[in-house]
Amino acid sequence: MQLLSQDNERAFTELYQRFWQTLFAIAYNRLKEIPTAEDIVHDVFASLWKNRHTVKVDSLENYLATAVKYMVLAQVKKQAHARKYQSQTTALYIPAMAEEDSVHYRRILAMVQEEINQLPEKCRLIFRCSREQGMSTRQIAQSLHISPKTVDNQLHKALTHLRLKMKHILFNMLSVLC
């Protein structure tokens, strides 16, 4: 750790080689997804390197294992939120739904996706991070290197746009059906 705090890349490489497999096993045992487990381990090591000047650790192995466990828990929470959002938006299929209603429902979902795709790039990215990946405002702000206020403004902009567009689309659909 002392060598690491002195920007010694060989020390970092040694730590990486020594602990990577164990940390990967911890992540994979919970997630059962190789790419996600690898990403988490890489993120933990990237964080270690980034904070090498400030981190003070008694047991590096315990520190890294705990960091992986917390990132796994965050990933599980994110996946649960994404599943919940997905089930609310796309899996509202009702088995008893008439075929005609099912067609209209799929058409409305396609229109919503089309309107999401029409959002400006940054606004669309922020909206998808929030709604599809379940990221918090703070997490989005950190990952995109912008302020939380900007994230809030972009989400408000996206939701306002979608409400307005969908109101017009649904009104037009109802007037055609009636």
Fold of 2-80: Rna Polymerase Sigma Factor; Chain: A (1.10.1740)
Sequence ranges of the domains in the chain = 2-80, 92-177
Contact 108, 163 (CB under 8 A): no
Q: What percentage of the chain carries pLDDT values higher than 90? A: 40
Q: What is the structure's pLDDT at 67? A: 94
Contact 68, 39 (CB under 8 A): no
Each residue of 77-113: pLDDT tens digit? 888 888 777 766 654 454 555 566 677 778 777 888 8
CA dist 178 and 174 (Å) reads 6
CATH number, domain 92-177: 1.10.10.10
